[in-house]
A and B are shown apart, each in its own frame.
Chain A
Amino acid sequence: MQQYSGFGLLKHSLSYHENWQRVWSNPTPKKHYDVVIIGGGGHGLATAYYLAKEHGITNIAVIEKGYLGGGNTARNTTIVRSNYLWDEASHLYEHSLKLWEGLAQELNYNLMFSQRGVLNLGHTLQDMRDIERRVNANRLNGIDGEVLTTAQVQEMVPILDCSTNARYPVMGASWQARAGTARHDAVAWGFARAADALGVDLLQQTEVTGIRRKDGAVEGVETNRGFISAGKVACVAAGNSSVIAKMVGMELPLESHPLQAMVSEPLKPILDTVVMSNHVHGYVSQSDKGDLVIGAGIDGYTGYGQRGSFNVVEHTIAAIIEMFPIFSRVRLNRAWGGIVDTCPDACPIISKTHIKGLYFNCGWGTGGFKATPGAGHVFAHTIAKDEPHPLAKPFSIDRFSSGELIDEHGAAGVAH
């Protein structure tokens, strides 16, 4: 793998940047792989990378029906944080945040990971009690967090309407300084490049249409490019997970919903942190390019159309203008939707199944981008050892019958 560096940039400028190595190859499928990963989003690619790097399994294919990172990985609003309420979720997301902190160096790829902090606003007394409880829980788990007063919030974000005239006055906020944003595409590309270098086959434009089984164990996958035999099959298909599960007659505790986001025209730097509000239901940050990145809540109906209803966009914009009256004349450039796989307890499923050699990583819903490295890391362990990574164990699909749900609706909500 060609190393990227400032010196390399200089050197290649002498040959007009025409001699850069291809970032990854485009192989023809082999007949057999030890592990086939369905879904070439950030999670699938991270899984392949950690399987190869930490478990020495390199005969792997990542099968992607479109292009790498073209699903929710390309569509999310890139917020990374770990201030969840319950121990199980906190540990998992914090594991991921710690990996983020060294990831650009490890992958030799600029992920534009920016720890600009995340504010979660409180607008009612109950909001503030919940925030205090969550920040205390975070600190007990060794995760950084602070409760800020209205004055402190105002000092941090001068353009936020913190006056008592606001319809939902800001009463304070939780603050996680190590949280922030990252470049979504770069994460997929960085993992893809590193996995490719370790010998992983990245098969794009290849759709899995069936999963072949024999005597309760997987044999391989049917694709539009023929049958590919596999020792193990790992499904990482986000919004399409139920469609994959149906191929083996399984139902999952998931519903796929459209989730929308939008960006404005580029502006000069005006917002240097991430502001989220569960109460008025909207959140915003400013990308390095200058556009405001604005996120909504899910559309209530299920849908695979990668678009949602316009009224959701209107509600979101109303919430943003309520918080930031100064944005009222900003023009929006683009709006889009992704399909998110939501779980009844707003927590993911990282699990073996009753079929030998079949694994699922899904249910991340509105908030799995932040978990990309962490999820890939613990899922790779689960696949390689055929037993759950200790951090993944509470997220087994069995929790729905044992009753050990991990209710993160409070810390997930609109807050992705």
Chain B
Amino acid sequence: MLLIHCPYCEEMREEEEFSPAGQAHIERPLQPEDISDEQWAHYLFFRKNPRGLHHEMWLHAAGCRKYFNATRNTATYEIMETYKMGQAPRVTANEEGQS
């Protein structure tokens, strides 16, 4: 069971209150009609899925019901930080020497 800090509630809560929502910081193409099918597919379906640091979204489903971001190591499951939507992560793959 993971313990997760919700940056909005500012509290450490149990994993069961949250639901994971996949890779973070995916930007929707501004002009979908101008891009190729391959680029659109990439936006919809293709994911980094790294072994190591991962920036991902979580929903505090049984709490404030807000989405936020987390940086987590997918090999050890250690959560390095959580941060609000619109903010940039402080821990990034290059700094950690990990991919």
Contact = CB atoms under 8 A, between A and B. Distances in A.
Contacts of A252: 46-47, 49
Contacts of A301: 2, 20, 56, 72
Given A300-B20, A301-B20, A256 B49 contact: yes
Nearest to A343: B45
Given A242-B50, A305-B77, A309-B2, A251 B72 contact: no
A360 B38 CA distance: 18
Given A246-B99, A255-B47, A401-B37, A305 B74 contact: yes
26 contacts: A242-B49, A246-B99, A251-B42, A251-B49, A252-B47, A253-B41, A253-B45, A255-B22, A255-B49, A256-B49, A256-B51, A300-B19, A301-B2, A302-B20, A302-B22, A302-B54, A303-B75, A304-B51, A304-B75, A305-B76, A309-B2, A309-B15, A400-B46, A401-B36, A401-B38, A402-B37
Given A301-B72, A302-B74, A305-B74, A400 B49 contact: no
A240 B50 CA distance: 9
A310 B75 contact: no
Contact of B47 (A254, A300, A303, A311): A254
B29 to A, nearest CB: 14
A243 interface: yes
A344 interface: yes
Contact of B16 (A243, A251, A255, A311): A311
A240 B52 CA distance: 12
Contact of A303 (B15, B46, B77): B77
B1 interface: yes
B28 interface: no
B48 interface: yes
B41 A401 contact: yes
Q: How many residues of B sit at the interface, in one of the four size bands?
A: 20 to 34
B26 to A, nearest CB: 12
B45 A305 contact: no
Nearest to B70: A301
Contacts of B75: 303-305
Interface string A266-307: 000000000000000000000000000000000011111100
Contacts, number: 72
CB-based closest 8 A-B pairs: A242-B49, A253-B45, A401-B41, A301-B20, A401-B37, A300-B20, A400-B41, A251-B46
Contacts of B15: 309, 311
Nearest to B99: A246
B74 A303 contact: yes
A254 B72 contact: no
A259 B50 CA distance: 17
Nearest to B2: A309
A302 B49 contact: yes
A344 B45 contact: yes
B80 to A, nearest CB: 14
B40 interface: yes
A311 B46 contact: no
B38 A304 contact: no
Contact of A240 (B36, B47, B51, B54): B51
Nearest to A300: B20
Interface string A360-401: 000000000000000000000000000000000000000011
Contacts of A251: 42, 46-49
Contacts of B42: 251
Nearest to B14: A311
A305 B74 CA distance: 7
Contacts of A243: 50-51
Contacts of A300: 19-20
Contacts of B46: 251-253, 400
Contacts of B54: 302
A365 B9 CA distance: 35
B9 to A, nearest CB: 19
Nearest to B47: A255
Contacts of A401: 36-38, 40-41
Contacts of B76: 305
A358 to B, nearest CB: 17
Among A242, A252, A303, the most chain B Cβ lie within 10 Å of the Cβ of A303
Interface in B19-66: 19-20, 22, 36-38, 40-42, 44-51, 54, 56
